[in-house]
Amino acid sequence: MLTLRKSSDRGYADHGWLKSFHSFSFAGYHDPAHMGWGNLRVINEDRIAPGTGFGAHGHQDMEIISYVLSGELAHQDSMGNVKGIPPGDIQRMSAGTGVRHSEFNHAPDQETHFLQIWILPNQRGIAPGYEQKTVASVSKRGALALVASPESAEQAVKLNADAHMYAGLFDGAEESRLVLQSERKAYVFLIRGELHVNQMPLQSGDALMVSDESELHLDQGKNAEVLVFDLAA
């Protein structure tokens, strides 16, 4: 079963320095019908104004992924990591027993556009951790590249969660298929462009909640960038 979640149905918050779309209930946006999907809890599409950002704040017992689309995200945390996250990189922070971090856009004249994704961990109370990898665009071209996984992989950060995250770029005749286990859930989020998933057309910001499906077929892309999640039910 495929359930369409239109971009315009998402929650939205405008804080001046931060403009954010919420796929699931978050902060001041609450929708009992959209509290998460499987063990996927948050997808926030954030735009941070130049010279601003999130001050130091805490997290606990969550797998947090940052996926930068444009600009650069400066990250600093209580584990001692001081990193810049450019487009093409994927970052995973395991909050575990507790971690504090800040995220900032130091550019004087460029917005930072990124996705912040939260996935529920397999186990509470683990030691906090950090990982960052570069995912080559060529590996996403006309394919679904694995970028986050419970298993170690060359271009994928390792998750302490029962979830696999894929990223793909599709245009023209490019297509890809992903086999699913029917007892699991999946979630498709179209970052930009246009794309068909199992013959259902998606526009930028749209998403599909997937259950009881054996396969996803992605095709008819027009400058499309997409994330696909294979999730515990």
pLDDT at residue 85, rounded to an integer: 96
Whether residue 153 has pLDDT greater than 90: no
pLDDT at residue 182, rounded to an integer: 86
For residue range 58-75, what is the model confidence (pLDDT) as tens digits? 999 999 999 999 999 999
Q: Identify which of 133, 129, 43 has the alpha carbon closest to the alpha carbon of residue 89.
A: 133
pLDDT at residue 63, rounded to an integer: 98
For residue range 107-131, what is the model confidence (pLDDT) as tens digits? 999 999 999 999 999 999 999 999 9
pLDDT at residue 79, rounded to an integer: 94
Q: 190-204 in b/e burial notation, b at 16+ Cβ within 10 A?
A: bbebbbbbeeeebee
Average pLDDT for 32-38: 96
How confident is residue 38, by pLDDT bands cut at 50, 70 and 90? very high
pLDDT at residue 54, rounded to an integer: 93
pLDDT at residue 93, rounded to an integer: 96
Rounded to an integer, what distance in angstroms lies between the CA atom of residue 164 and that of residue 74?
A: 25
Rounded to an integer, what distance in angstroms lies between the CA atom of residue 91 and that of residue 95?
A: 13
Question: Which parts of the chain are beta strand (E)?
Answer: 2-5, 11-14, 18-22, 40-48, 52-59, 63-70, 73-77, 82-85, 89-94, 99-105, 112-119, 129-134, 144-149, 157-158, 163-170, 176-179, 185-197, 200-203, 207-211, 215-231
48 close to 34: Cβ distance less than 8 angstroms: no
pLDDT at residue 222, rounded to an integer: 98
206 close to 6: Cβ distance less than 8 angstroms: yes
With left for phi above 0 and alpha for psi between -120 and 50, is residue 96 left, alpha or beta?
A: left
pLDDT at residue 162, rounded to an integer: 97
pLDDT at residue 152, rounded to an integer: 83
For residue range 71-102, what is the model confidence (pLDDT) as tens digits? 999 999 999 999 999 999 999 999 999 999 99
How confident is residue 233, by pLDDT bands cut at 50, 70 and 90? confident
Burial (CB count within 10 angstroms: exposed 0-12, middle 13-18, buried 19+), residue 14: exposed
For residue range 166-225, what is the model confidence (pLDDT) as tens digits? 999 999 999 999 999 989 999 999 999 999 999 999 999 999 999 999 999 999 999 999
- Residue carrying the six token digits 């945390």: 77
Whether residue 154 has pLDDT greater than 90: no
Rounded to an integer, what distance in angstroms lies between the CA atom of residue 75 and that of residue 96?
A: 18
Whether residue 146 has pLDDT greater than 90: yes
pLDDT at residue 69, rounded to an integer: 96
